[in-house]
Structure 1
Amino acid sequence: MKGCDNFENHYYVMHDLMHELSRSVSSQECHNISSSSFSADDIQQSIRHISITMENRYDDTIIEEMAKLKSRIDIGNLRTLMVFRNYEGKTARILEDTFKEIKCVRVLFINIYSLESLPLNFSKLIHLQYLKFGSLCCLGINLASALSKLYNLKFLDLRDCFNRFKLPKGINRLVNLRHFIAHGEHHSRVPEVGKMKHLHELKQFYVRRRSVGFGLEELGRLTNLGGELSIHNLERVATKEEAIEAKLSMKRNLRELALIWSKNQPSIDADILDGGLKPHNNLRGLTIKGHGGAIGPSWLCGEISIKHLEFLTLEGVSWVTLPSFSQLTYLKVLWLKNIAGVRVVGPDFGTDRGKSFMHLKEVVFVDMPDLEKWVVEPNCHLFPMLGRITCVRCPNFHALPFFSECSGPSTQDIAYASLCSLYIKDCPKLSLPPMPHTSTLTSVDMHDTTGYMSYQKTKLILWSYRGALALHNLAKVESMTISGGATIAWTDLQMLTSQLRLEVKECDSMLPSKLVALTGIARESTMQSMALISNPMSLTRLDLVDCKNLNVDGFSPLITVNLKELMVCNRKNSSRSIAEDLLSEVARTKSMLPAGSFQLETLTVDCISVVLVAPICSLVASTLQKLAIRYDQRVESFTEEEEKALQLLTSLQRLQFDDCPCLPSLPQGLHGLSSLRKLKVRDCPEIRSLPKHGLPTSLEKLNVDYCSAELQDQIEELKRTNGNLRVYA
């Protein structure tokens, strides 16, 4: 069974029974040393293939066992040596000493960081056919020159080699090399690469007219070339005859081809591409960039010869007419980028409607300034596999197939049955139905100069968004953020079946009844009545920040029954506390609430006097774990009633006083809070000392910032005398 690891390298999985069978059959010739405490006596004398995966840890017997191994098997005649991890210190030296005299090895896989890590006489391993370096730093010219002498090498893997490692000029002497696994930059640096006539892959080739060995004739000699190939600097090709020398039409194994011009030359580019660079008909992926001719090649823009093409990218071309894409019945991915002058893509009359775009999975339009629409034959059964649409910076684009022609949810679902991702940016004229367009869409991003919409599976973000929403396709949304004056009919949100975590900023509308959380109604001057949030009985979090005009008219205390988090505060320079109005209403109607019904765990308010009263503290005594007093501009002391109410909070674990400029002291009964673990005091300059009765013994962490110098001195003393308390000041 085949799979991929996290680095997208293919690997194969073998059944346990098959693995045991293969080990049994090969036990006379192959052995894996997988433990630092291995015994050399367990290794057959006939072994010719060794792999090592042991840990870097070892005991004193490893030196003895390795010495015994050297005398037990013929190290010089090993055919395979593979070391699958990095080794350090003594372990590395032991391995190097054991295997330094290998002579006949065919397969070598090692991790090296210095020339000393190489086997003795590395350059004389004339039988070597497979070489892989697991880690390779800048090792200088000695190793590079040694590589060019391994004439029998068929497989060279330098994928982990850094780009600063320079290939030797004589690398083309490896005339038997078939597989050269390396970064494209290394492929492009091989002079006279045509000498390596058996080569199967060459990712990059740069035409260089002033350098010997970098003409297209070099590619022509590589008759077995396959995989992917990108040819750069094609503006340096002067004639069609020169282009023909690449012999691209004869490379049957080539799967992907990129033809790239760095500078347009309209007078000659057309003839070179049409007459000289035609690929083989088996090609699966094609990219053409920067071609300066006014007309595309006849083999692509006329009667298409590469009919099995699956991936097509056209970027920066100057063609008046684009290819007849519907002829590419196997096409999966289409990218059109930076193409001016093209106003309409399609339609392609005379094609087989039943096969057009049947395999198309992704289409991308980027920087198409004149494009107006993509037109196909009116057939709502097209695009059955299309999963991703991207349109970016197409200012005149106004019509995608079926978004405007089809109407009604059922027809749209048929048109794009597999659509899951839609990305639209800076396409102001594009006409779209309510989003998400189909029930299969799980990713929608729509950006313009005024706002955006982002929908990712269970999360919806709207900022100044004016478009329509298909709420019947948003049933799985769990989190919604609405800001910047985005317009939405709140009553329509009743269609959402799941409970919703909602954040609203700077929006003026009604709120729905199925909220889990309503957060961030910040600086909302237009919201005036609590009646707007009187219905959500399942509300678990409510944040009301700087809602200075909000009043409690129509407010039902019953909405607080299921709350777990409540933040009600106005920030600096506010003469009115919304928390005072809200909690006073809760206290006044306490008898209406079921006994033990409160679930509040976190409470943040801007008024000490309204929360530290017996009716409120008794309601939340068994549940409240965190109490934060923030922005109280008026409090000047703790009253006896407030001190007593504080003692009712038997479950309180975290207490915070933040930005209370007139508060002269902390509660004197603080030591009686037996559950308190964390205390934070910030920006309270009038507090001069800790409570005279001290702090609770349960306290684990004390944080004091921006307070008086006197209090800071006491905190420093506390640091020195109380080692069990974590103090931050």
Structure 2
Amino acid sequence: MEVAIGAANWLVGKLLDKLSNDLVASYVASSELGPNSEQIKTKLKYMQGLLHAAQDRDVRGNPGLQSLLQDLSKKADEAEDALDELHYFLIQDQLDGTKEAASELGDGLHGHALHVRHAACSTIGNWLTCFSCSHTQDDDYIDATVVATNNPQDATRSNSGNDGGHVGKLKFDRVAMSNKIKSVIESIHILCDPVSDLLNKIPNSNTSITMKRAPTGSVAAQDKLYGRRVIFEQTVSALTGSKYLDETLSVLPFVGPGGMGKTTFTQHLYNDKGVEEHFTVRVWVCVSTDFGVLNLTRQILRCISATEKEEHSCTVETTNLDQLQKSIAERLKSKRFLIVLDDIWKCNSESDWNNLLAPFKKGETKGSMVLVTTRFPSIAHMVKTTDLVELHGLEHNEFFEFFETCIFGHSKPAHYEDDLIDVAREIAKKLKGSPLAANTVGRLLRKNLSRDYWMGVLEKNEWKNAKDDDDIMPSLKISYDYLPFLLKKCFSYFSLFPEDYKFYNLEITSYWIAIGILHSSCQDNNNYLEELVDNGFLMKGVDKSGDQYYV
């Protein structure tokens, strides 16, 4: 349902952009719609506001609303196509000095424009369907939206017949165009009332839907930390040495994609003998998607033993944040402490973060630490007071050792070295050093230790079908689900290109605009790239010429 709301909201927004264009608006106002065009825009803006508000509400289990949203998306998409077609003819009028848009297109600028549009749609027409819960395209529909013929409502030219060379005549039929626009916008007008009515009936809530995340604790599931020995020892040395002893409180984030072992790495740090002896108080809190200063402060207070005579003693059930913070500050006043905030998905503002840390900065003992794990570089950069630690895939040999342990434990079958090890190595190459992927695939391979079964897993990428919450694909997909709808659309575009392809600012934003994901007047195109970096879906690099790219 969230996808349906996102799709409808995005398409309604695009339609409003089209209706705001001066050329299109003047035509629509002068057609049979007349003054109703302003009423329609007002209703669409109201609808857009409701759809935006509904994205933070629980709208699941309402098939009637979902069906209406699909209808609305379809009609908004049709209206945008019609207005695009109209806009094209109006620009043609301007260029040719005509008033009826009846001039022929030759091999010049207009012809090139049509060829580019047709080539793009021919290449990605089917791919666009993945962006809309309701948008269906067959060959006839693609032809109708891409190729304008003598009758704009009856496109009969095939894709293969318009791949290059002479474009042909494009004639404008004012009556047909007016009727098309009038029909589709009035259809939207009719849908607005029932959709608005149902959206208004969704109970308002102060809390958005939180995604299900498994809680974590400080006890590691595996006794041995595979790989990362160097960075582990360096971090232990930094935590227990003199590096942070001049600071009252330091924040060290561990950041990396889902499934890279950030929590496991931090668990082993937390339980290291040297770390345990260095910090008088240690606290582990799993934050996940619920970052609330009051709730987190309560959880931390529960983990800190009370002193004999507390001046600001209070119960953890109190809703008075001031009392909770004073109690924490008093209990930690003369102690060096380590606090782990694991799996942070969001922090509303830097102000909230500083508010959470306020009582920990009042201590008299230097060298206290907060360790943070997160998937999001933006969060890591916001909270850090020292260089962050990036955790990516394990090195090949270390990963393969761990992979074998995930399959067999500590006892390999006798026929493994002769029959299975080569298949295991091929599978391991596909897993990119991800410990979570090793666990997922290890469980699959453990079910059947025959070569035929393992070859099937290798060739069919069976792990992509694993559905448990702790499997690799559901774990990665939750990061995608967490994105705003428009960023999902922007990111999905990258699936057209091979892994490790390098994109540059102007290149990728031009593509997004060309296929209609973004509007050409959008001022935040570059910010979408940065947001995808901040959410861990892209990485930045610098090429030999010193130019920044995304990969």
Greater percentage in helix: 2
Larger radius of gyration: 1
Same-fold call, TM > 0.5? no
Structure with more of its chain in strand, by fraction: 1
TM-score, length-scaled by structure 1: 0.15
Higher relative contact order (CA 8 A, sep 6+): 2
- Give me the TM-score of the superposition, normalised by structure 2: 0.18
